Amino acid sequence: MAVIGKIREKSGLVMIIIGVGMLAFLLPLDQIQRLFGGGPDNSLGDIGGKEITAQEFDVRFQNAVANYENQQNQTAPPELRESLKEQVWNDIIREEVLESQYKELGIAVSPKELFDMVQGNDPHPQVKQAFADPTTGAFSSTQVLQFLKSLETMPAANRAQWLAFEEGIEKERIASKYQTLLSKGLYPTSNMVKRAYVDQNEQRNIKFVAKRYNSVNDSTVTVSEKELKAYYDEHKSEYKQDPSRDVEYVKFEVIPSEADIAEAKEWIDATAAEFKITEDDSSFVAYNSEAPLDELFYGAGAMPFGIDSSFFDQEVGSITAVYEQNGAFMVTKLSKIKMVPDSVRARHILLKTTQINDTLLEAKLDSIKTAIELGANFAEIAKTTSEDVGSAIEGGDLGWFVEGAMVPTFNDACFNGQVGDMVIVQSQFGFHLIEIMKQADKSRKVQLSTVVRKNIPSKETFNDVFAIANMFCSTNSTAEAFIKATETDEYSKFIAANIIASDKGIPGMEDVRDLVRWSFKNEKGSISEAFQFGNTFVVAHLSEVREEGTATMDQVEIQVELGAKKKKKASMFIEEMKGIASLDELATKTGEAVSSVPNVNFSAYSISGMGQELRVNGMISTLQKGQMSVPIEGQTGVFVVLVESVTPAPENGDYELLKTQLTQQNSTVSNQLLEALKDKFGVVDNRYKFY
């Protein structure tokens, strides 16, 4: 049942022990010391003053990997392992940051409440789903009691898994209470609602004269070092930055030599002769090919690219000539012929699980099958029981589909069976009870087995390119030499800007963690060794280092210069525009036009003809009818505004709609909770040192 599936997700201790043991064989001593506390640097990060050790993190990470591999019965792929690293790190942050809040507020789940969540009046949704009647789908508390009683006779590991499940739903309930407490604590008061109503509905008709900064060319404005420094100091808060790096690099691509290609061609020619006479095509491909066996069967009009359509009519055992495609040599053999329907119509009932062997869930589906064989209505049961929501509303009917449209086990059951068959199969989605409703006419289809030999560089070719990269590195070992060498046509220089510590790739290159780590461990101006990433060697220059905090004046010199010049223009314009009695006189003096804008309100994001000028709009809301403002320094220029008329907000006795809108806006604040707490506690992430 689904609960057992969730419980099993908590297992994996044995895999951790095995994984930790394997590290002793796979990792260098210094890295093992760093990971497990014996070396000089074992700190992976810091959360609110509490150190997170590399050992603590790695044990939890290996546990997460083991859980996945136990569930899927396969090795976790690299991209998933990276995702699990992020998940484990975020889990640790949540535990340290949020659970401290739970304890401080006294939020907990009582034993009675936990009882209700498992077998009482308010069962948890996962409990409801797991302990449901197979025919009606209704929750059965009797099944829960039977299961809990049976725990006494189950292995200790099963009992531990159940306790872990209970702990999980308890933590979930505590988090829900905290979220509710937060959302209920944010509400708009009556005064806030009335103020917002006025801001949105009080209208002003205005006129204004604007002198834009772009009316004076920057090149005509001179700012002194003192003015630049003053502007930088005044605006330091705008130059906050996270740690990042800029890297310049040269790539040395390793491509197959003529000798490498000739060797590959010689190999495929010899292998093709053996392939032609072998009787076990699948094993031959598995052992010799650099691409997996294609188990699909192809129709006459759907042969793979590169295979002549006439090959479809050949006999079993026929073989193509060697051909080249996508940088590889290939040879294809016609391995099997069978008569299969072009399409199938089927319906199914899906019970989801991530477990490889979920015997209880399979037994539940088997009981549904028996009920249908005894006369129960397949469509009605599918509507109430199937967890494939899309097809459930159609009674489980999937309509017509062609071969290959469904996952392999589902596909094979439908295309290899007969009309009327009702079978149970498992896929990555769970267990399916499938009924084959109709099949189209059968036609000839063929299975093709292909041996692939990629044209890859040899070790000697790699060594030759590595020697070239090393020579470049040794002769350009300073920043000055690197810059000079890459200014010539001999080398192409690439730039990766604003690299952060967690980056895994840079523009045009993936999986370059070694380069990213190097950039955060070295000083500006450093030149790297020759890194190897796949078929490419890279030599890099660390051209910029930005530490967390405030950017230095040198790092933001362009922004500071532009800002200081704009500030100086504003001062000049304000001096020119102040003391004028009317907008018409001001327009004449400045050479600008008088603009009119109706119905301006304080809540407006921007003003027609003005743009997003929040400071100007704020001033407008304070002016009375007939009042003219002083010159206002804005984002795009200096403005003088006159209010021609003020229309008060209409009387309104019902603010409920606005109150609802403000409440909805407040609810989004809870989504920013974790980030706010992380800022408060302080989170230092040093994972880049280890991963």
Encode pLDDT of 533-563 as tens digits.
999 999 999 999 999 889 999 999 999 999 9
CATH number at residue 529: 3.10.50
Residue 12 clears pLDDT 70, i.e. is over it: no
Nearest to 430 by CA among 379, 365, 380: 365
Q: Label residue 119 exposed, middle or buried (CB < 10 Å: 0-12, 13-18, 19+).
A: middle
> Are 351 and 472 within one domain?
no
> Are 333 and 387 within one domain?
no
> Are 19 and 139 within one domain?
yes
Instruction: Kindly provide the b/e burial profile for residues 399-438, where b requires at least 16 CB atoms within 10 angstroms of the residue's own CB.
Output: eebebeebeeebbebbbebeeeeebbbbeeebbbbbbbbe
The residue segments making up the domain with residue 581 are: 203-240+556-647
Q: Quick check: is 162 in a domain?
A: yes
Per the rule left: phi > 0, alpha: psi between -120 and 50, beta: everything else, 599 is: left
How do residues 444-456 score in pLDDT, each as one tens digit? Answer: 999 999 999 999 9
Q: Quick check: is 75 in a domain?
A: yes
Last residue of a domain, one of 440, 473, 505: 440
Q: Which strand ranges, in their side-by-side order, compose the sheet holding 43-47?
A: 50-53, 43-47, 683-685
> Are 360 and 430 within one domain?
yes
What average pLDDT does range 148-158 have in this prediction?
79
Residue 70 clears pLDDT 60, i.e. is over it: yes
CA angle 34, 38, 42 (to 5 degrees): 40
Q: Quick check: is 417 in a domain?
A: yes
Q: Quick check: is 131 in a domain?
A: yes
> Are 144 and 38 within one domain?
yes
Chain mean pLDDT for the chain: 88
Nearest to 341 by CA among 397, 294, 402: 402
> Are 13 and 138 within one domain?
yes
Poorest-confidence range of 484-493, 497-506, 634-643, 651-660? 651-660
Domain count, the chain: 5
Q: Which residues contact 455 (CB under 8 A, 6 or more apart)?
A: 256, 260, 261, 264, 327, 328, 329
Give the per-residue pLDDT at 158: 76
Please state, in angstroms and rounded to a whole number, the distance separating the CA atoms of residues 563 and 586: 26
Give the per-residue pLDDT at 4: 39
Residue 275 clears pLDDT 70, i.e. is over it: yes
Residue type at position 257? S
Q: Quick check: is 665 in a domain?
A: no
Nearest to 655 by CA among 191, 253, 247, 17: 191
Rg, C-alpha atoms of the chain? 35
Last residue of a domain, one of 299, 324, 340: 340
DSSP string, 209-275: EEEEGGGS-GGG----HHHHHHHHHHTGGGGEE--EEEEEEEEEE----HHHHHHHHHHHHHHHHHH
What average pLDDT does range 617-639 have in this prediction?
95
Nearest to 419 by CA among 440, 389, 450, 393: 440
> Are 280 and 403 within one domain?
no
Per the rule left: phi > 0, alpha: psi between -120 and 50, beta: everything else, 50 is: beta
> Are 353 and 471 within one domain?
no
What average pLDDT does range 652-660 have in this prediction?
82
Residue type at position 668? T
What's the chain's length in residues?
691
Please state, in angstroms and rounded to a whole number, the distance separating the CA atoms of residues 85 and 517: 16
pLDDT band at 614 (very low <50, low <70, confident <90, very high): very high
DSSP string, 156-225: HHHHHHHHHHHHHHHHHHHHHHHHHHHHHH----HHHHHHHHHHHH-EEEEEEEEEEGGGS-GGG----H
DSSP lists the bridge partners of residue 645 as 205
CATH number at residue 399: 3.10.50.40
Please state, in angstroms and rounded to a whole number, the distance separating the CA atoms of residues 540 and 91: 35
Last residue of a domain, one of 493, 526, 547: 547
Give the per-residue pLDDT at 354: 66
Q: Quick check: is 13 in a domain?
A: yes
Please state, in angstroms and rounded to a whole number, the distance separating the CA atoms of residues 293 and 282: 7
> Are 607 and 635 within one domain?
yes
- Between 353 and 469, the higher pLDDT residue: 469
How do residues 154-210 score in pLDDT, each as one tens digit? Answer: 787 777 778 888 888 888 899 889 888 887 888 888 899 999 999 999 999 999 999
How far is CA 504 from each of CA 167, 246, 452, 540, 561, rounded to the nearest angstrom?
Answer: 35, 15, 30, 16, 34
Q: Quick check: is 447 in a domain?
A: no
pLDDT band at 312 (very low <50, low <70, confident <90, very high): very high
- Give the H/E segment covering residue 381: helix 378-385
Residue type at position 360? L
Q: Quick check: is 316 in a domain?
A: yes
> How do beta strands 683-685 and 594-600 pair?
unpaired
Q: What percent of the chain is modeled with pLDDT above 70?
A: 92
> Are 306 and 318 within one domain?
yes
Residue 79 clears pLDDT 90, i.e. is over it: no
How far is CA 669 from each of CA 383, 662, 677, rounded to the nearest angstrom?
Answer: 38, 11, 12
> Are 387 and 416 within one domain?
yes
pLDDT band at 28 (very low <50, low <70, confident <90, very high): very low
Give the per-residue pLDDT at 393: 92
> Are 413 and 494 within one domain?
no
How far is CA 268 from each of CA 196, 306, 335, 452, 470, rounded to the nearest angstrom?
Answer: 77, 17, 18, 8, 34
Residue 16 clears pLDDT 50, i.e. is over it: no
Give the per-residue pLDDT at 651: 84
Give the per-residue pLDDT at 11: 38
